[in-house]
Amino acid sequence: MDWSLWRPREETLATIKELLQDALIPDSEVQKDVQTKLKNLEIVDDFTYYLLYIVGQAHFSEEIRSLSGILLKNNIAAVYNKLPEDSIIKIRQLCLMLLRDPCRDVRTSISNVIYTLAKYNLNTWPELIPFLVKSFETPDEYSEVALTTLFSVCEEMMNLEKSEEEICTITKEVLPKFVDCLVDEKCDKKQSIIKLINQFLQDHYKVMTQSIDLTRYLRNVIQLADTDDLDMQKYICHTFVMYIEYREECLLPHLHDVIMYLLVKTQHEDLEVALGACEFWLAATKLANCKELLTPYIDKLVPVLLKNMKYSSFELIALKDTLRVEEQNDDPSKETFPFHMHDKRITRDDDTFSNEEGDFLGNCDDVDDFYVGWTLRKCSAASLDAIAVKFGEDILPLMIPFLNELLYHQDFLIKESAILALGAISEGCINGLKPHLPYLVQYLIHSMNDDHSMVRVITCWTLSRYVCWIINSQPSHSVYFIPVMTILLKHFMDENKRVQRAAISAFCVFQEEAQMQLIPYIDLILEGFQLGFQKFNYRSLYLLYDAINVLALSVGSELSKPEYIEKLMPPLIQKLNEYNNYSDDQFIAVLECLANIIPSLDAGFLPYSEVLYSQCMEIIMDTFMADANFQENLNGFDPPDKEPMHVALDVLYSMAVGLKSYFYKYVANSNLVCLLYTTMQDCSFLIRQSSIALYGELVLICYPYLSSSVDDYIKLIIKNLDECYEGVCKNAAWVIGKLTTVMGAEIRPYVPEILAAFINISRNPTVSRAMHQTVSVSLCTLCCVCPDIALTDADTVLKNCCLSLRSLKDSDEKDLAFRGLCQVVVRHPDFCQNNFMYFCDAVASWNSVKPDLKEMIKNILVSFKEQCGEMNWMQFYGQFPELLKLQLFNLYGV
């Protein structure tokens, strides 16, 4: 409807006016009636125009006009996309006029309408910001609402995906005015201004360097530092933190005063102010000159950090339910969400175990206080940790007197904070602490039996920080290794659940470091795990599954002995059978655990394989059925949770890896291969990733069974050579390499597509090193099987292949790849002229090379040397590092 032609109908206007008057009556029944009538009016096409008309007419009461403005804001948010462009323009013009209405409440409601209009497309309203800035600068009663509206518009920009250019256009015009307001005695928005500018600095620092004078802003903020307002103090501290984070040189002239100010604020009784100030020390440790910067203040700073590492009363209240014995307490599953399995997602070539912890205190201190959040205690501990890394053992003369006093303090909370501090300095001060560690480790072992659970919790974590020294300091395990291992296992059974979880987390770290040194104690460890299965509920079980995963990854096939499997598998299968809901977090956690340990069990897993295989297939089929129902009736069914299917595929992959040829009977007697054809096309990249990895293992186990259908599958795999999904792409590249090996020349029809994808990935510098390595191995394998294929941009591709292959361990896979590399290098003389040193470096990476491959490489080296001529060769060879020269001579006599 065209605004210029619109006129209010008296009957409708009267109805809306009556409705607005009723809305002011504080009666619940009347309000229900108003809401019903309002819903009916909202479908009227020109309801927006009526509301705007009412709010703009002075003869209506201020209350009705203000309420009409409130409804107008909500209405515009609902119908904006349906309004004609000329109507939007007219509404904007009227709103700007009404922003100077004599009624304060009307101005306020219109401010919200303007903010709502602006957030849809500020670019098409170029007059808004200049109008607001001009109104804001005019010292009259209307300037306040103009400033409020500017704030609303600027704050909304934080929530919208705006380009830096769009943001800069506005900030250049608005924020310098706000900076000037900070020195205006009449301005009552100073706190809000600092908060807003800080937010822009944090999110759009580069834009802000072009928008405001950062030196002037800092100077104005410093002038406001002497304030009793707590919020203002927090925002001022935040300003200083960002200036140090962004290494703003304009901070340097004020640095001493800023540091002294923050030292005081870090001790403030208000915890939020103290935390805001403490962030500065953590930010300062990221500077290259941190030690030089903080040295004059370190003797004042360290005692403050130590004091702040004591639990606050707020934290103690939040943790009160975990400080007592909890033997009989429930541990509801709804509280398990902060924990995640050490989930080793199935990607080929990835045989490292990664423990992804959220913050400095890792699994220990945050096991039960996730709802407390980032606190002064945590920030202080993290700051001390980072300072210790920067200062090294130089900080110990300052630390040791404090530790000697605090570790034996009568107040157990102070003692606990001292143990935390001891853990915090472990990384930075380990060399200086070594003479003290025999005594300190014994102290920690003794503290594991402290009466207070909080002391036991933090002691577990601190022991984990010194695990490397504990495990490697003595040739005899009896001195530290066994005592620490047994004390941690003992506290799996602690009556306090928080201590249980801290002990399990520390034991995971212990196992990761000990690796094969655990072999003599596997039986003892499994007994501890068995007791855990009997005692633990929910959260502790999650961590127990972690510990089992780490053990399997640490000792590998040593875990496959029948007596070990007999202790490990029955409780896991029992836990699996306790849950009949595939989407249950505990069910998925047990499946993930099985996926991680099956490869270590080898054929020892056979007695459990048939039941688990059937269960995984059932999960996949049920998910397919649920998805089909959902696709057929989107409104009648919920989309299925695909996480169980994803984990089931991971388990099947692990079974294929662990059982090898034994797995073939399951494949032959089921429709797994057909199911993979569907899952390899799933919209979930995680499901495609696991499906492709499983198919690759089947290629190794039973290619003859797959050969008749390989054409359909290889096309899907090529489609997944998309570097946007790294795990999927890496797995697809790995499978191509395996298919090349088993298919031989039969892969030739697919070479053009494969080659195009491989070269594209190889030339992409943004993909990971692991991706480059996988693609390089498969590409060179392809070149070995099909030696006549032509490479485009051979110089770059071969250089990247050499860089990738040099880091491979000796293996049959590496052997085949180097054979292909040699054939391509021979056919590309330009590469030999420009990048031959990379080839030399790659071939020198072998420890033991097969005789025929050695001869092939030697011939290439000798041929290149002869083509160069003696003088050129000596000049070229002279650039090599001595180790490279020695390795080339030892391996190839060149």
Q: CATH number for the domain including 131?
A: 1.25.10.10
Q: Taking all residues of the chain, what is their mean pLDDT, rounded to a whole number?
A: 88
- Could you tell me if residue 618 is left (phi over 0), alpha (psi between -120 and 50 degrees) or otherwise beta? alpha
CB 805 within 8 Å of CB 777: yes
In 3-state terms, what secondary structure has residue 404? Answer: helix
Those residues with Cβ within 8 angstroms of residue 257's Cβ, 6 or more apart along the chain or in another chain: 222
Residue 154 lies in a domain: yes
Q: What is the rounded CA–CA span in Å between residue 548 and residue 535?
A: 16
Q: What is the CA radius of gyration of the chain?
A: 34
Q: What is the rounded CA–CA span in Å between residue 26 and residue 627?
A: 50
Q: Output the CA angle 524-525-526, nearest 5 degrees.
A: 90
Q: Which residue has tokens 């009307």?
A: 106
**Interhelix angle 851-868/829-843, nearest 10 degrees:** 130
Q: Compute how many other C-beta atoms are within 10 angstroms of the C-beta atom of residue 232.
A: 18
Q: Output the CA angle 437-439-445, nearest 5 degrees.
A: 95
Those residues with Cβ within 8 angstroms of residue 634's Cβ, 6 or more apart along the chain or in another chain: none
pLDDT of residue 707: 92
Q: What is the rounded CA–CA span in Å between residue 331 and residue 807?
A: 47
CB 351 within 8 Å of CB 774: no
Residue 103 lies in a domain: yes
**Interhelix angle 412-424/396-406, nearest 10 degrees:** 150
- Decide which of 243, 275, 310 is a domain's last residue: 243
Q: What is the rounded CA–CA span in Å between residue 471 and residue 45?
A: 77
Q: pLDDT tens for residues 460-479?
A: 999 999 999 999 988 889 99
CB 805 within 8 Å of CB 780: yes
Residue 758 lies in a domain: no
pLDDT of residue 332: 43
Q: What is the rounded CA–CA span in Å between residue 200 and residue 170?
A: 12
Residue 107 lies in a domain: yes
pLDDT of residue 369: 55
Q: Which residue has tokens 């992804």?
A: 356
Residue 426 lies in a domain: no
Q: Which pairs with CB-CB distance under 8 Å and at least 24 residues apart come from 118-127?
A: 118/153, 118/156, 119/153, 119/156, 119/160, 120/80, 122/153, 122/157, 122/166, 122/170, 123/166, 125/92, 127/96
CB 46 within 8 Å of CB 1: yes
User: What per-residue string of b and e applies to 165-185 under the rule 16 or more CB within 10 Å gives b?
Assistant: eebbbbbeebbbbbbbbbeee
Residue 505 lies in a domain: no
> What tokens appear for 94 in the block?
């009227």
pTM comes to 0.82
CB 298 within 8 Å of CB 259: no
CB 266 within 8 Å of CB 274: yes
Tally the C-alpha atoms within 13 A of residue 302's C-alpha that lie toward its C-beta: 25
Write the burial class of residue 32 (CB in 10 Å: 0-12 exposed, 13-18 middle, 19+ buried): exposed
> What tokens appear for 192 in the block?
């809000």
In 3-state terms, what secondary structure has residue 264? Answer: helix
CB 211 within 8 Å of CB 201: no
Write the burial class of residue 837 (CB in 10 Å: 0-12 exposed, 13-18 middle, 19+ buried): middle
Beta strands per DSSP E along 459-602: none
Q: What is the rounded CA–CA span in Å between residue 812 and residue 820?
A: 13
In 3-state terms, what secondary structure has residue 20? Answer: helix
Q: Compute how many other C-beta atoms are within 10 angstroms of the C-beta atom of residue 633.
A: 9
pLDDT of residue 360: 55
Q: Which residue has tokens 């855990």?
A: 532
CB 602 within 8 Å of CB 562: no
Q: What is the rounded CA–CA span in Å between residue 49 and residue 127?
A: 22
Q: What is the rounded CA–CA span in Å between residue 21 and residue 60?
A: 11
Tally the C-alpha atoms within 13 A of residue 258's C-alpha that lie toward its C-beta: 26
Residue 606 lies in a domain: no
* End-to-end Cα spacing for the chain: 87
Q: Which pairs with CB-CB distance under 8 Å and at least 24 residues apart come from 369-374?
A: 369/315, 369/318, 369/319, 370/338, 371/318, 372/314, 372/315, 372/318, 372/319, 374/275
Residues of the chain with pLDDT under 50: 325-330, 332-346, 348-359, 362-368
- Decide which of 223, 243, 263 is a domain's last residue: 243
> What tokens appear for 616 in the block?
């995984």
Q: What is the rounded CA–CA span in Å between residue 281 and residue 266?
A: 10
Beta strands per DSSP E along 331-450: none
Q: What is the rounded CA–CA span in Å between residue 419 and residue 463?
A: 10
Sign of the Cα torsion 401, 402, 403, 407 reads positive
Enclosing domain of residue 824? 764-894
Q: What is the rounded CA–CA span in Å between residue 254 and residue 88?
A: 50
Q: Which residue has tokens 């392809």?
A: 782
- Count of domains forming the chain: 2
Those residues with Cβ within 8 angstroms of residue 80's Cβ, 6 or more apart along the chain or in another chain: 88, 116, 117, 120
**By C-alpha distance, which of 226, 131, 137 is closest to 180?**
137
Q: Which residue has tokens 């004091």?
A: 307
- Decide which of 228, 243, 258 is a domain's last residue: 243
Q: What is the rounded CA–CA span in Å between residue 754 and residue 718?
A: 6
Residue 232 lies in a domain: yes
Q: Which residue has tokens 């998925």?
A: 588
CB 672 within 8 Å of CB 690: no
**By C-alpha distance, which of 209, 188, 272, 285 is closest to 238?**
272
**By C-alpha distance, which of 60, 58, 62 is closest to 16?**
60
CB 694 within 8 Å of CB 656: yes
Q: Output the CA angle 807-811-816, nearest 5 degrees.
A: 95
In 3-state terms, what secondary structure has residue 21? Answer: helix
